[in-house]
Structure 1
Amino acid sequence: MAAPATTSSYTVDPIAPTVVADLQAVGACGASDALLKLSLPDGYLSAATVPAALATPAALDRVVVARAYTVKIVGAKDEPDTPTFTGQYVDSCPRGAAMVVSVPETAQNAIFGGLLAARARAVGSAALVTNGRVRDVGEISEFDFPVYASGTSIQSAQGRTRVVAVHVPIQIGKATVNPGDVVVADANGVAVIPAARVEEVATLARTLATVDDKCMHDIIHESSSLQAAFAKHRGGAKSAAAAPAPVTTK
Structure 2
Amino acid sequence: MSNVGLRIYLEFNRPPRALVEGFAGIPVANIADNMNRMSCMDARIRPINETALLGPAFTVRSRPGDNLMLNKALDLAQPGDIVVVDVQGDLTHSVMGELMALWGRKRGIGGFIIDGAIRDVGALKTMDIPIYAAGVTPAGPYKDGPGEINVPVVCGGVAVHPGDILVGDEDGVVVINPFDAEGLLEKSRATLRKEDAILNDIDNMTWDRTWIERILKERGVAVLQENRSFSRADIYEPVTVVLEGRASTQPATAINISNGGIILQVEQPLENDQLIRLTLPRKLGNVEIKAKVIWQQGNNYGCKFVDMSSDVQAILDSVAYYCRKN
Indicate whether the TM-score tops 0.5: yes
1:31 aligned partner: 31
1:108–1:155 CA contact under 8 A, matched in 2: yes
1:28–1:189 CA contact under 8 A, matched in 2: yes
Q: CA shift at 1:63, angstroms? A: 2.5
Letter in 2 for 1:64: L
For residues 225-244 of structure 1, the aligned pairs below 5 Å read 225=207, 227=209
CA distance in 2: counterparts of 1:213 and 1:98, whole angstroms: 30
User: What is the TM-score of this pair, normalised by structure 2?
Assistant: 0.56
1:68 aligned partner: 57
2:40 aligned partner: 44
Q: 1:154 to 1:209 in 2, by over 3 A?
A: same
Equivalent of 1:201, from 184, 199, 221? 184
Q: 1:132 to 1:85 in 2, by over 3 A?
A: closer
Equivalent of 1:148, from 132, 136, 139? 132
CA distance in 2: counterparts of 1:87 and 1:33, whole angstroms: 35
SS class of match (2:85): strand
1:158 aligned partner: 142
Identity %: 22
Give the superposed CA RMSD: 2.8
Structure 1 position 189 matched with structure 2 position 186: no
SS class of match (1:67): strand
1:236 aligned partner: none
Q: CA shift at 1:132, angstroms? A: 1.1
SS class of match (1:24): coil
Hey, which of these two has a bigger chunk of helix by percent? Answer: 1
Hey, which of these two has a bigger chunk of strand by percent? Answer: 2
Q: CA shift at 1:68, angstroms? A: 0.4
Letter in 2 for 1:212: E
Q: CA shift at 1:225, angstroms? A: 4.0
CA distance in 2: counterparts of 1:19 and 1:211, whole angstroms: 22
Q: CA shift at 1:158, angstroms? A: 1.7
SS class of match (1:36): coil
2:115 aligned partner: 131
Letter in 2 for 1:34: N
Q: CA shift at 1:228, angstroms? A: 5.0
CA distance in 2: counterparts of 1:107 and 1:152, whole angstroms: 7
Deviation sequence 1:16-46 (CA, Å, 0-9, x none): 436524x222221111111117xxxx31111
Q: 1:75 to 1:111 in 2, by over 3 A?
A: same
2:65–2:87 CA contact under 8 A, matched in 1: no
CA distance in 2: counterparts of 1:107 and 1:137, whole angstroms: 14
Question: Which consecutive unaligned segments of at least 5 residues does structure 1 have?
Answer: 1-7, 78-83, 232-250
Structure 1 position 214 matched with structure 2 position 211: no
CA distance in 2: counterparts of 1:107 and 1:114, whole angstroms: 17
Q: CA shift at 1:137, angstroms? A: 2.0
1:215–1:230 CA contact under 8 A, matched in 2: no
2:62–2:146 CA contact under 8 A, matched in 1: yes
Larger RCO (CA within 8 A; separation ≥ 6): 1
2:227 aligned partner: none
Q: 1:96 to 1:29 in 2, by over 3 A?
A: same
1:223 aligned partner: 205
CA distance in 1: counterparts of 2:33 and 2:10, whole angstroms: 35
CA distance in 2: counterparts of 1:180 and 1:200, whole angstroms: 17
CA distance in 2: counterparts of 1:36 and 1:166, whole angstroms: 30
